[in-house]
């Protein structure tokens, strides 16, 4: 029996033990391009009130209290504060754009505080050593890009 056949049998056995060949529908994290477009570059300007056919009693309180949309907290320099899980989802979403990135078995951990960082780990047999090295080499660039727009919220 060849080594390739043994490896294929071992992978099939492990796959049947861990998941039985069933895969859950993956939830796509928000992509960096979508996040950057949503990030404000300056302070939001209040929108002009549009005239609506309402009675006068409802119009006065609305003018006294402008309603702001619910947004994520921002730092003084305009970065969004996100929890570690949300940043990990953003990093993982960007990594999924790279060719041959595994559909499952990859995990991103965000750590640190002011100068946060991220690391990636792979489950056994989820990717090759060569591809894992490529993905790990791409991590510093992704983290550098995200640090310009996101700050870790603890």
Q: Domain extents for the chain?
A: 27-39+73-154
* pLDDT for res 50: 47
pLDDT per residue, tens digit, the chain (154 aa), is 676 766 777 666 666 666 554 444 444 555 555 555 555 555 444 444 444 445 445 544 445 555 444 456 777 888 888 899 999 999 999 999 999 999 999 999 999 887 899 999 999 999 999 999 999 999 999 999 998 888 888 7
| DSSP three-state, residue 16 | helix
CA distance 154 to 151: 10
Tell me the sheet residues that pair with 151: 81
When computed from its CA atoms, the radius of gyration of the chain, rounded to whole angstroms, is 23
- 31-34 long-range contacts, Cβ below 8 Å, gap at least 24? 31/90, 31/93, 31/94, 31/97, 32/90, 32/93, 32/94, 32/142, 32/145, 32/146
Name 110's Cβ contacts closer than 8 Å, sequence gap at least 6. Answer: 84, 85, 87, 88, 91, 116, 117, 118, 152
Pick the closest to residue 81 from 17, 35, 10, 150 (CA basis): 150
Pick the closest to residue 32 from 145, 136, 132 (CA basis): 145
Would you list the DSSP string of 117-147?
Answer: EEEEEE-TTSS-HHHHHHHHHHHHHHHHHHH
CA distance 26 to 39: 25
* pLDDT for res 66: 52
* pLDDT for res 19: 59
- Under DSSP, the state recorded for 99 is T
């Amino acid at each position: 029996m060849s080594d390739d056949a043994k490896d294929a049998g071992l992978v099939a056995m492990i796959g049947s033990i861990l998941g039985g060949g069933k895969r859950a529908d993956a939830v796509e994290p928000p992509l960096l391009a979508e996040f950057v477009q949503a990030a404000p570059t300056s302070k939001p300007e209040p929108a002009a009130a549009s005239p609506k056919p309402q009675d006068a009693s409802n119009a006065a309180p609305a003018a006294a209290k402008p309603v702001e949309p619910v947004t994520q907290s921002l730092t003084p320099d305009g970065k969004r504060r996100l929890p570690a899980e949300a940043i990990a989802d953003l990093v993982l979403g960007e990594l999924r754009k790279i060719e041959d990135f595994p559909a499952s078995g990859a995990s991103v951990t965000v750590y640190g505080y002011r100068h946060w960082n991220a690391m990636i780990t792979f489950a056994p047999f989820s990717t090759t050593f060569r591809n894992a090295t490529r993905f790990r080499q791409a991590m510093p660039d992704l983290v550098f890009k995200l640090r310009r727009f996101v700050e870790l919220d603890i």
